[in-house]
Structure 1
Amino acid sequence: MDLEDTLLMMPGPVPVAPRVLRAMSKPMINHRSAEFAAIYDDCREILADVYQTKNDIFVISGSGTAGMEAAVGSVVESGDKVVAIENGKFGERFKDLAALYGEVVPLEFEWGTSVDLELVKEKLEAGAKAITLVHNETSAGILNPAAEIGKLAKKHDVLFIMDGVTSLGGDEVKVDEWGVDIAVVGSQKCLAAPPGLAMVSVSEKAFEVMNDVKKRPYYNDLKAYKKSGDKARTETPYTPAIPLFYALQEALHIVKEEGMEARINRHRVLSEAVRAGVAEMNIEMFPQLNEYSQYSNTVSAMKAPEGIDGEDIKGDMKKRGIIVAGGQAHLKGKIFRVGSMGNVTARDVLSTIQGLEIVLKKRGCLDGLGAGVEAANSVIDKL
């Protein structure tokens, strides 16, 4: 399989624009120089618009999980209670991270089912220092109620830590309005940069809490990032992945050129097109929604048709040069997922729906071809 001809339609990493790849080939520079500071400052300025925040933003050389650990480890220590909401794989990861640093108060729902806000309220009323939430749970294709969780966190005076790894840059995220104290995003998702960077926004309230935390992480200590970020010439506390910063800056310029309103609308329309296309194939969406949850606007999770393993669909699509994702953990084989994040285009979505129709017809699930593509295209006409 020729990787250059492969279409990545998974929930990250996503295809990277040629100009972003070219940016990575620039010469190395001193990471303690004015040249690097200018790049870092530019990235932080654009990220503030993406986050919709006036809070400090830092860039960690590490994956989104590094950002998640920085968020939890910098404010939680032994004995602190953390309400960890889980309705998918990455909520589980937040729960596991919290257990390393403090005392987890688990709030577990079946993966793909909606968060019960009354249960969240009960847990917070019992007392906690922080609450964690994955805004966009890609393992199950569900968008969780961040705004409502933020209101509850504020009412009970707990820190709100949010994984926005797969929503920031592709869906509406209002960090300040929602009262998010620490929000994490990954470079290889909606921002369409290569993997390897995590961006973290931090509120003043969170910094105040950090002052009393005796044992914070070393590399992922957000206080260390603030100290370096507040210098007259902006720095990171440790050696940054300079080529990835080049790439991030260029990717953020693409975001800025498109405009966040247009970018969010494109993600929403294209994910709606995916859902319309699969509906014509009688494929059922996996998430179970309530009034506070929605289908994800950056990845669609579908149940595998009866009698077909989701991994087989994934394999058949790969043979056609289209990479989609399967289910994780106990969902493996039961679902498959189609990403629509980053710089994804209408052509990408239509190619994917067409490929899926062919795959399912060959497996005896469809009588004809074209209905899915036509349904998806009718939605895409909204762009």
Structure 2
Amino acid sequence: MDLEDTLLMMPGPVPVAPRVLRAMSKPMINHRSAEFAGIYTDCRQILADVFQTKNDIFLLSGSGTAGMEAAVGSVAGNGDKVIAIENGKFGERFKDLAALYAEVVPVVSEWGLPVDLELVKEKLEEGAKAITLVHNETSAGIMNPAAEIGKLAKKHDALFIMDGVTSLGGDEVKVDEWGVDIAVVGSQKCLAAPPGLSMASVSEKAFEAMKDIKKRPYYNDLKAYKKSGDKPRPETPYTPAIPLFYALQEALHIVKEEGMEARIKRHRTLSEAVRAGVSAMNIEMFPQLNEYSQYSSTISAMKSPEGIDGEDIKNDMKKRGIIIAGGQERLKGKIFRIGSMGNVSARDVLSTLQELEIVLYRRGYVDSLGAGIEAASRVIDGL
């Protein structure tokens, strides 16, 4: 399989624009120089619009998980309680990371089911320093109620820590309006840059909470990033992955050129087209929704058709040059997932659905070809 002809339709990494790849070939520079400070400042300014925040923003050399650990590890310790919401793999990861630094109070729903807001209220009333939420749970294809969690956290004076790794840059995220104290995003998702960087916005309330923490992460200490970021010539506390900063800056310029309103509309339209296409193939969406949850706008999770293993669908698609995702851990074989994040186009979505329909036809699940493409096209064309 020729990698250059392979279409990535998974929840990250996503295809990277040629101009972003070219940016990584620039010469190395001094990471304590005015040149690097200019790149860092430019990225932070564009990200402020993506995050919709006036809070400080920092860039870490490390994936989204590094940003998640920085978020909880920098503010929680000394026996603090952290409420960890879980309804998918990454909520579980946030819970496990928090447990390294604090006493975790889990609020768990079965993966793919809505967050239990009543249980969240109950746990907050018992007291907690912070609460964690994965906004867009890609393992289950469900968008969780960040605005509602933000209101509850504020009411009970708890820090709100949010994983926006797969929503920031692809869907509406209002960090300041929702009262998010620390929000994290990864480079290889909706921002369509290569893997290896994470970004975090941090409120003044969060910085205040760091003062009494004796045992914080060393490399991922947000207090250290604050000290370095506040210098007259902003920098990172440790040597940054310079080629990735070049790439991120170029990717953010693409985001700026498209405009966040248009970018969000594109993501939402294409994810709706995926849902329409698979529905026309009689495939059921996996997550169960309530009034406070939505289908993800950057990844669609579907139940595997009866009699067909989701891993077989994934493998069949790979043979046809399209990489989609299967289920993780307990969901392996039970679901498959199609990404629609980053710089994904209508053609990418239609090509994926066309190949999926052929795969299902050859496995005897659909009787004829064309219904999925027609349904998705009608969404894309606004019909």
TM bucket, shorter chain: over 0.9
Structural mapping, 1:162-201, within 5 Å: 162-201=162-201
User: Which residue does 1:152 correspond to in 2?
Assistant: 152
Q: Match of 1:74, SS?
A: helix
Q: Which runs of 5+ in 1 are unaligned?
A: none
C-alpha offsets along residues 66-90 of structure 1, whole Å, 9 cap, x if unaligned? Answer: 0000000000003100000000000
Partners of 1:82 and 1:289 lie apart in 2 by: 26
Contact persistence 2:78–2:213 (CA under 8 A): no
Shift of 1:313: 0.1
SS in 2 for 1:101: coil
* Contact 2:107-2:116 at 8 Å conserved across structures: no
CA distance, structure 1, for counterparts of residue 245 and residue 271 of structure 2: 29
2:49 is matched by which residue type in structure 1? D
**Alignment partner of 1:220: what SS?**
coil
Question: How many residues align structurally?
Answer: 383
Distance 1:47 1:90 in 2: 23
Q: Which residue in the other structure is 1:25 paired with?
A: 25
Aligned match of 2:313: 313
State the distance in 1 between where 2:382 and 2:43 align: 31
The 1-side partners of 2:163 and 2:338 are apart by: 20
| Distance across 2 between alignment mates of 1:160 and 1:253 | 29
1:142 and 1:295 in contact (8 A); partners too = yes
Q: Report deviation, 1:116.
A: 1.6
Once the two structures are superposed, the pairs formed by residues 211-230 of structure 1 within 5 Å of their partners are 211-230=211-230
Q: Which amino acid aligns with 1:149?
A: I
1:176 CA drift (Å): 0.1
What do residues 329-354 of structure 1 show as CA deviations (whole Å, max 9, x unaligned)?
00000000000000000000000000
Aligned to 1:65: 65
1:257 matched residue in structure 2: 257
| Residues 64 and 197 in structure 1, CA contact (< 8 A), matched pair in contact too | yes
| Structure 2 letter corresponding to 1:79 | G
Q: Give CA-to-partner distance per residue, 1:205-238, whole Å, 9 cap, x none.
A: 0000101111111100000000000000010000
Aligned residue number for residue 9 of structure 1: 9
TM-score by length of 1: 1.00
Per-residue CA deviation, residues 251-310 of structure 1 (Å, 9 max, x unaligned), is: 000000000000000000000000000000000000000000000000000000000000
Are 1:24 and 1:243, in contact at CA under 8 Å, matched by a contact in 2? Answer: yes
User: Any idea what the Cα deviations from partners look like across 1:151-181, whole Å, max 9, x if unmatched?
Assistant: 0000000000000000000000000000000
Deviations 1:22-81 (A, max 9, x none): 000000000000000000000000000000000000000000000000000000003100
1:1-150 alignment, distance < 5 Å: 1-150=1-150
- Cα RMSD between the aligned structures? 0.6
What percentage of aligned pairs have identical amino acids?
A: 87
1:295 aligns to what? 295
C-alpha distance in 1, partners of 2:185/2:119? 27
Find the residue that maps to 2:365 and give its secondary structure: coil
After superposition, the C-alpha distances for 1:343-368 in whole angstroms (9 at most, x for unaligned) are 00000000000000000000000110
Which amino acid in the other structure matches residue 213 of structure 1?
A: I
Amino acid aligned to 1:320: R
Matched, 1:209 2:224: no
Find the aligned partners of 1:96 and 1:39 in 2 and give their Cα distance.
Answer: 34
Per the alignment, residue 352 of structure 2 pairs with 352
Unaligned residue ranges in structure 2 (runs of 5+): none
Distance 2:340 2:275 in 1: 11
Aligned amino acid, residue 134 of structure 1: V
Q: TM-score scaled by structure 2?
A: 1.00
Q: Supply the distance in 1 between the matched residues of 2:173 and 2:46 (Cα, whole angstroms).
A: 14
Tell me how far apart the structure 2 counterparts of residues 278 and 18 of structure 1 sit (CA, whole Å). Answer: 31
Distance across 1 between alignment mates of 2:209 and 2:11: 33
State the distance in 2 between where 1:309 and 1:245 align.
Answer: 40
Structure 1 counterpart of 2:312, one-letter code: D
Asked whether the equivalents of residues 10 and 340 of structure 1 are also in contact (C-alpha less than 8 Å), the reply is yes
3-state SS, counterpart of residue 200 of structure 1? strand
Task: Report the counterpart of residue 329 of structure 1 in structure 2.
Answer: 329
In the alignment, the residues of structure 1 paired with residue 91 and residue 158 of structure 2 have an alpha-carbon distance, to the nearest angstrom, of 18
| Secondary structure of the structure 2 residue equivalent to 1:95 | helix
1:170 counterpart letter in structure 2: G
Moved over 4 A (4+): none
How far apart in 2 are the matches of 1:119 and 1:108? Answer: 9
Partner AA of 1:110 in structure 2: E
Equivalent residues of 1:78, 1:103 under 8 A apart: no
Q: What's the offset of the Cα at 1:188?
A: 0.1
Cα deviation, 1:74-120, whole Å, max 9, x if unaligned, reads: 00003100000000000000000011000000001000000121111
The alignment partner of 2:100 has SS state of helix
Shift of 1:382: 2.8
Q: What's the secondary structure of 2:291's corresponding residue?
A: coil
After alignment, is 316-325 or 208-217 more displaced? 208-217
